[in-house]
Amino acid sequence: MRIDVFTLFPELIEGFSRASLLGRAREAALLDLRAHDLRDGASDARRTVDDAPFGGGAGMVLMPEPLFAAVEQVTSTEGLPRPLFFLTPGGRPFDQGVARELAGLEGFSLLCGRYEGVDQRVGDHLVDGELSIGDFVLAGGEAAALVVIEAVTRLVPSVLGNEASVTEESFADGLLEYPQYTRPAEFRGWGVPEVLRSGDHAKVARWRAAQTLVRTLERRPDLVAARGGLGPEEVLLLLEQGEVEVLARHGYDVESGKSRQS
Ligand code: JD2
């Protein structure tokens, strides 16, 4: 997979990717990550990339000429993987579904802004789409680009190294993960759920499935609602696991033998 990043801080992208699982993927030639300096598109000696906004107001805006030039330079010399996405708070919400989409591509490119933003003509005529990593405001697109790169590349077969953990993880089926424990069996007086040390794999699987549902109901009820609430087998599982109170808190009527959400 090839990913090209346009940024005023290529060393941010380089530094992070050297020091993470991305570094391994790059060394193994599974990932071809190229960071390009937007200032290489500037035409003056000072390498200017920003100017004051038309109409007035605080701060600076990235100019279209150097950004178009930087992208066109790379396109004509080494080719550019498309689609090219601009990272911006107003972009399409980036989530695990978008990560899976991008992981299926041979490559893509990211454009990072800084300052108060980027000239609108970049969004209208240079890029193919816009992405946002969440409803908060960063100072620039670099941290968002790294989030996108890490979430996507770990889905690329053989980058992660452990295929099973990708399908078993959070959001694989729209739910949160069950709690994990390792040695010691007792730490500062805090134990590990007995079932995990029982050696009964079917029992462990039922406990984990129930924990997944309990956690998601309690922490992210929106995720449970998005998949249409709990199914009848899931309600039965929670009843079997003694989670009557959780069910009741989330509107599942467990009085009658049938159980329905009110
Ligand atoms: C960025 C800024 C707009 C005021 C370039 C912010 C982002 N989820 C996200 N939050 N913030 C960003 C982001 C990305 C690029 C830039 N700013 C600062 N933008 C209004 C300030 C400048 C994403 N993706």
Query: Are residue 147 and residue 33 in the same domain, yes or no?
Result: yes
Residue to probe by mutation, ligand 1, list 136, 138, 147, 149, most atoms within 8 Å of CB: 138
What SS3 state is found at 174? coil
Is the CB of residue 201 less than 8 Å from the CB of residue 236? no
For residue 144, what is the domain's CATH number?
Answer: 3.40.1280.10
Inside any domain, residue 173: yes
User: How far is it, in rounded angstroms, from Cα 151 to Cα 160?
Assistant: 11
- Dihedral (C-alpha) 97, 102, 103, 107: value to the nearest 10 degrees? 180
Inside any domain, residue 234: yes
The backbone torsions φ and ψ at residue 172, rounded to the nearest 5 degrees and listed phi first, read -55, -40
Query: Are residue 16 and residue 137 in the same domain, yes or no?
Result: yes
Percent of the chain with pLDDT over 90: 88
How many domains does the chain fold into?
2
* Residue ID of nearest Cα to ligand 1 atom 4: 116
Is a pLDDT exceeding 90 seen at residue 194? Answer: yes
- Structure tokens belonging to residue 153: 């590349």
Which tens digits make up the pLDDT trace of 17-47?
999 889 999 999 999 999 999 999 999 999 9
**What is the CB neighbour count within 10 angstroms for residue 89?**
15
Q: Is any atom of ligand 1 closer than 6 Å to the C-beta of 87?
A: yes
Question: Closest ligand 1 atom to the C-alpha of 131?
Answer: 24
E-only strand ranges, 46-138 = 50-51, 61-62, 84-93, 107-112, 129-132
Is a pLDDT exceeding 80 seen at residue 76? Answer: yes
Residue whose tokens read 């190294």:
161
Question: Closest ligand 1 atom to the C-alpha of 138?
Answer: 11
Ligand 1 centroid, distance to 216 Cα (angstroms): 29
Give pTM, 2 decimals: 0.95
Domain of residue 139 covers: 2-153
Inside any domain, residue 158: no
What's the whole-number mean pLDDT along residues 61-65? 98
Ligand 1 centroid, distance to 132 Cα (angstroms): 8
